[in-house]
Structure 1
Amino acid sequence: PVGPSSSATIHVPENKIGIVIGPKGAKIKLIQEKSGVTRIDTQGQVFTITGKPENVARAEAAIKELIEKGYCALAFEGFSENVINVHSSHFPDLIGKQGAVVRKIKEELGVEINFQDVPKGSNKKAKVTLAGSATNVEKAKTVINNIILYNHDQLTHPGEVHEELDIEPWAYRYLIGSKGSEMKHIQHNWKVKVNIPRETSANDKVLIVGEADQVERAKTYCEKLIWNAENNSKGRDKADNATADPWGDEEPEEEWMKGYMYKR
């Protein structure tokens, strides 16, 4: 005999309908299959779930989770959720230009990634939530930690390598040059990114990131600059009056970043 059938309705906010239904209805079909409900009617903002009571409850919980978090445990085999506390200054690197970095991690590993909403100019740590199968969540965590430490990972920045230079803070200004002249020369000439440690950096070394041959050339140039600084007649303890901001301007928060921030 067929068991008792029940139904439940759930209100889905208009701005969450696309997230719940998914591309070409993929998410809602997945919930229907995994929960075992008979049907989910998605007319307007009120969704009606029909099926056995326990299955209806499972589907309802999954839809509520999608509304709240943008993902649901039901969608993954061996579901795992992990939170990393990251200084919010790393968010632009983790998100990437127009979301390219975070999108690559999500697509390649099939995980969901959410960034805690932070006020502009925040100087605090914030949560990055990873969700998906346990194995892939761990892989995503490694990718994120590599980007924070080394500004790249093979998954998101294929072909890039890095070199770490152990340079004392007094010498940073020689790497930067007057009004950033040396830094501009290095970055433009060899198409590398040079990261000088700042208060919020996870890595206390000077980092050069880019293609291997370019990184090697930039490293040689940086080492020459430091050798000259150490043998400079001014000496390491005599600061000159020209002080430059060793880190340059913060990258502005761009409009597309807002799509990756959420309130928890």
Structure 2
Amino acid sequence: MASKNEKAMKRFFLTTAILLSSVLASYADSLPSAVRDTVIRAGEKTIMIKDGEDDFEVIIQESMPSGDTIRNEKIFRGVYRNGRSIEQRFRNTLINRPNRDKEMPVWGTYGFGSFEWGELKVDDSHSDIGRSHSYRVSIQIFGDIYRLNKYLVLTYALGWDADIYRITDSKTLKNIDGVTTVVDVPGRAECTLTAAYLKAMPALAFNGVGSNLTVYIAPVLRAKVYSAATTDGPDDRLEKLRRVKLNTFSVEARAGINYRNAGIFFTYSLTPLFRSGKGPKLHPYTIGLSLSL
């Protein structure tokens, strides 16, 4: 009986020794790859280099303390293999930038577009221009210029504005003695004043690192490239006035709030719509919505 127990114990210890040696051998094989991994810390950034058999990977993270916790934000990942490279840069959401998955690559700091629509009005409630059914349509590209700190970012936008003003109550625009004037039209008529602008907008945005919410203020510099007033008269005859005395250059003040890829904005023109002494003294303003594509 004792001999049987001794044989069973020997088998148990032998089996345990074989399994333990296999585990130790596997651990020893994994040691060289662990030794090849490198971690470099520079300020709040951590650079990790993982060296594999066929490639190596570089990951850069930034530590962001918040109270008693520290959150790591991945800002770069690169995989290099056989002379080829795959790089991903993770940037922060700025003016109307889509909220992309953090694991998806966002290339560069430009090339993101947005579409905007806003109701267009003027600061004179008695004006026949822009009293109702007037609007602005815009398309633009935008991006980052420079992040000043964890909360403030300099950004830019370049694009086009199309302003459409409705002139109702059977009135139209005519040039009288070199001055664009609103005049009555016999019968029923509708007049539309259209102006197209090329615009540039440098902005200061409040956008925390990793945040989807952005608040910004900006001057908008605009240059008129086209303008015309079209009148649909009572006899279905179209009349077009091309020499509308609008200001060629104008400056607007703009403020807006964006969350992810949608936002609202307000603009007010510091420059009158018409040239001085060449038309009604009107300052347009817009309240609108924006959507990033």
Q: TM-score, structure 1 length as denominator?
A: 0.26
Structure with greater helix share of residues: 1
Q: TM-score, structure 2 length as denominator?
A: 0.24
Structure possessing the higher radius of gyration over alpha carbons:
2
Structure with greater strand share of residues: 2
